[in-house]
Amino acid sequence: MSPAGNEFVIEHYEKKIYDQKQLLEISKALNSTLDYRYLIDVILNICLAQLQTLNAAMYLEPEVDSTMFRLEQSFKGFEIGDREINFAIPMDSPMVHFLAEKPKATMLKAILAIPELTKDPIVTFFHKLGAEVIVPLNAKGRVNGLLILGEKMTMSEYLEDEKEFMTTLASLAGIAVENARLYELATVDMMTSLKVHHYFQTKLKEEMDRCRKKGTNLTLLFTDIDKFKVFNDTYGHQAGDVVLIEVAKQLINNAGKHDIAARYGGEEFCIVMPGATEEEGYEMGERVRKSVESMVVANPNGGEDLKVTLSVGISSFNTNDRSNKDLIERADKALYQAKHSGRNQTICFKPS
């Protein structure tokens, strides 16, 4: 073999070794978290960095018994309008069946060359979107999602090594996403998408322990929808459920990256704010309260739109706190004061 040929072979195997090392590190990263949203973001960013593309998106199952894949909102680069965002992919579609039989990274142009798939609406949709590669995610012997990549920044073709890399990445990602989704199902209230009570209690204890060890701040918000029983009696429980969902969205949308928005029980929601001072907690309480006050919810029964207000109580960790109960009781007392001194306000706990 010529020296040039030897150099090519050496370079090829060096790249193989590098890719394997990268996949090992990626596998560690994917298995180090059960945070569903964070995990999806990690997977998409890995694609951008490793494959030199500006466009990456994932279609996953939104619910346990879903028959469709839907776009995850953390997509990168693709110009996706409202119509495209709502586009759902049936799990029993011809293209998904094709990918299930050949679970590997596949160029869209190769799919377009298959007569029975040419007119598949999903294939047409991806073509219009500017997708170049479709990669099925797999877990427990079935396709549990799709990874979509756009063209490379260099405008060059995807190499076979890169397609192999994507296939392996997708198999790792499929398992990681499935594990994270199962964990989320166990820790998230299905109606409101807030964390459940036992998760809230566990994380609050962890954060209080961290405060004791490191001297950091911690603030807790308790919220309650004003006169919710009267609201339910007036408009019915279906309207009440819609309002709970919309109020929960305000907490989720306003909560910071490291905050924990949870459902304490009934219409009582809370936010755990690691590292936050009482002043920052008050500012958060006011943001949430004002966003709920300005919120207009369509009445599921027809008729007039629905409006509610929120009362908020704030407490902050102090070194005398022995358990979750201490911090919770102070937030609850502040909330009681907010509700019994006019409602629709944020009050920080002050010792009597």
165-185 in b/e form (b: 16+ CB < 10 A) is bbbbbbbbbbbbbbbbbeebe
Candidates 157, 162, 267, 280; catalytic one: 267
- AA identity, residue 307: K
Distance CA 184, CA 191 (A): 13
Asked if 195 and 261 touch (Cβ cutoff 8 Å), the reply is yes
What's the angle, vertex CA 127, arms to CA 122 and CA 133, rounded to 5?
90
**Residue 287: which region, alpha, beta or left (left: phi > 0; alpha: psi -120 to 50)?**
alpha
Q: Which pair of tokens denotes residue 272?
A: 């755990």
**In sequence order, what are the residues at sequence separation of 6 or more whose Cβ sits closer than 8 angstroms to the Cβ of residue 95?**
89, 111, 117, 120, 122, 123, 134
Q: Does 267 participate in catalysis according to the annotation?
A: yes
Asked if 227 and 240 touch (Cβ cutoff 8 Å), the reply is no
Distance CA 240, CA 218 (A): 31
Q: Are strands 310-316 and 346-348 parallel, antiparallel or unpaired?
A: parallel
Q: State the burial class of residue 107 (Cβ atoms within 10 Å of its Cβ: 0-12, 13-18, 19+).
A: middle
Asked if 124 and 102 touch (Cβ cutoff 8 Å), the reply is no
List, by residue number, the catalytic residues: 267
